[in-house]
Amino acid sequence: MATITHLNGNGVKPNGHGVHAPPLSKEAQALDSSDLDLPDIDPSKLTITLANDLKPLPPPESLVFGQTMTDHMLIMSFDPTTGWSAPEIKPFGPLSLDPASSCFQYCPNVFEGMKAYLDPEGRPRLFRPDLNMDRFTKSTERVALPTFNASALLELIKELVSVDARWIPKKRGYSLYIRPTLLGTRPGLGVAASTHALLYVLLSPTGPYFPSGFKPVSLLASEDAVRSWPGGTGGFKLGLNYAPCFQPQRQAAKRGYDQLLWLLGEERRICEVGQMNFFVVTQREDGDLDLLTPPLDGTILPGITRNSCLQLAEAHTTGREPLDTLKEKLHPSERAITMADLLNFSNSGTLLEVFGAATAAVITPVGRIGYNGSDIHIPTYEGGLGPVGRNLYERIVDIQEGRYKHEWSVLCSE
């Protein structure tokens, strides 16, 4: 499929993505790229330029999330007159962008977070990548960036993972983090949608979020700041959603809490746990368990781990795919949860577990939540995770690493 060349020396050559396009008319700037008959991403045009000098692999135990990059990256660009450029896998290196690019001024920046894993046979696998591509596409449309064929991009991501597969650590709980990124690169300060774009994919080896065992985190319920709001962009994975969270998180840390529990509205409706989806487990009168999470109402990011937890809970209760050590039935429900609800669960003794769900940590247990000057204490369990959280974590990781055969686990190459 690809043309492969080798570089000498440091493996860096000009990539051509910093070339300035001539300014467009207002009419051209208003065009939607999906309405234009221009070339889409074409995997058959992929070229692969391999670096001669490969980086040494660091000890897996030394990895810090997002700090180590692999040898190569995938890159391509969109021009409103020529469409998507031929994709290239090339040595990892700097980008060249116009200082007036839209991404620096108005933040039309989109990214995804996904991982590759090694199965017992040493083959790289992806976990539900179709959902990542679907979310990436919807986020792209939300900020009016040039659109693309998501299936073609996924094919290229698989190729990149295969090229750098040696970077996937051969230990349980370790993986290769994949960061597709799309930037608006229209040069100019006019307030308008970006007609130019740069799409690139980085890879970074990573270890388990809790290398020495699960430690329940503490949360401070945020009453002064909100992460998202109705009609906003909270349901999309955009760079602009994250920076406003940093200062409130610093304030929470100064008060002795690990993260924020984002609330919304006068009813103090629970949204997310930092950058994770929120789950609570409660006891029913009949002995069954409820697995509750806020609905996707536009303020909640549609997490892939979130979706997986809900589907695994349903499969367990119907008997289609029982979880290994969970005896009780587990009833998933997407419904609004307020702080008053959480207090009632705690005071009535029905509150069993609270956890966050996301790609990085999979499942993160919560130990206490600060609210109105006092703490709501969550039941603690040996090993950090409660029975529901642990069963969901084990099943998801087993699927990701190919030990539990499931349609969600996708090989990078057949």
Using the predicted structure, report yes or no on whether residue 203 has a pLDDT greater than 50.
Answer: yes
User: What is the secondary structure of 17-78 as a DSSP string?
Assistant: TTPPPPPPPHHHHT--GGGS------GGG-EEEEESSPPPPPPGGG--TTT---SEEEEEEE
For 255, the 3-state DSSP assignment is: coil
- The answer to whether residue 335 sits within a structural domain is yes
Residues 196 and 255 in one domain: no
Q: Is residue 308 part of a domain?
A: yes
Largest CA distance in the chain: 69
Same domain, 143 and 270: no
Tens of pLDDT, residues 260-291? 999 999 999 999 999 999 999 999 999 999 99
Write down the mean pLDDT value for the chain. 92
Pick the last residue of a domain from 156, 172, 206: 206
74 lies in which domain range? 3-206
Per-residue pLDDT of 134-145, as tens digits, reads 999 999 999 999
Report pLDDT for 37.
86
pLDDT band at residue 199 under the 50/70/90 scheme: very high
In a shared domain, residues 53 and 166? yes
Establish if 92 belongs to a structural domain. Answer: yes
Structure tokens at 150: 């998501």
The answer to whether 316 and 291 have CB atoms below 8 angstroms apart is no
Indicate whether 48 and 27 sit together in one domain.
Answer: yes
Coil, helix or strand for 15? coil
Strand partners, 369: 219, 376
pTM of the model: 0.91
| Shared domain check, 327 and 232 | yes
The answer to the question of residue 152 being in a domain is: yes
**What is the three-class DSSP state of 217?**
strand
Q: What pLDDT does 22 receive?
A: 46
| Whether residue 231 is found in the same domain as residue 336 | yes
Q: What is the pLDDT of residue 15?
A: 40
Region 370-379: what's the mean pLDDT? 96
Q: Are the CB atoms for 283 and 300 separated by under 8 Å?
A: no
Q: How many residues does the chain have?
A: 414
CB under 8 Å to 55, separation ≥6 — which residues? Answer: 70, 71
Shared-domain flag, residues 13 and 41: yes
User: Residue 3's pLDDT is what?
Assistant: 62
Residue 32: pLDDT above 70? no
Domain end position, chosen among 153, 176, 206: 206
Helix H or strand E segment including 388: helix 387-400
- Pair (200, 234) in one structural domain: no
Are 248 and 267 in a shared domain? yes
Q: What is the mean pLDDT of residues 145-151?
A: 98
* Rounded Cα–Cα distance for residues 367 and 256 (Å): 13
pLDDT of residue 223: 85
Read off the pLDDT band of 99 (50, 70, 90).
very high
With respect to residue 111, please indicate whether it lies within any of the assigned structural domains.
Answer: yes
pLDDT score of 31: 54
230 shares a domain with 160? no
Buried b (16+ CB within 10 A) or exposed e, 293-308: bbeeeebbbebbbbbb
Asked if residue 124 is part of any domain, the answer here is yes
Q: Is residue 137 one of the residues assigned to a domain? A: yes
* Residues 282, 404 share a domain: yes
Output the domain CATH number for residue 364: 3.20.10.10
What's the first-to-final CA gap in the chain, in angstroms?
14
Domain count, the chain: 2
> Which residue, 162, 184, 206, sits at the end of a domain?
206
Place of tokens 């000498």: 8
> Residues 223, 104: one domain?
no
CA dihedral 62, 355, 230, 245 (to 10 degrees): -40
Provide the pLDDT confidence category of residue 326 given band limits of 50, 70 and 90.
very high
Classify residue 212: in a domain, yes or no. Answer: no
Residue 399: both structure tokens together: 């699927």
Distance (Å, rounded) from C-alpha 117 to C-alpha 125?
5
For 317, half-sphere exposure in the C-beta direction (CA atoms, 13 angstrom radius) is 16
CATH number of the domain that residue 139 is part of: 3.30.470.10
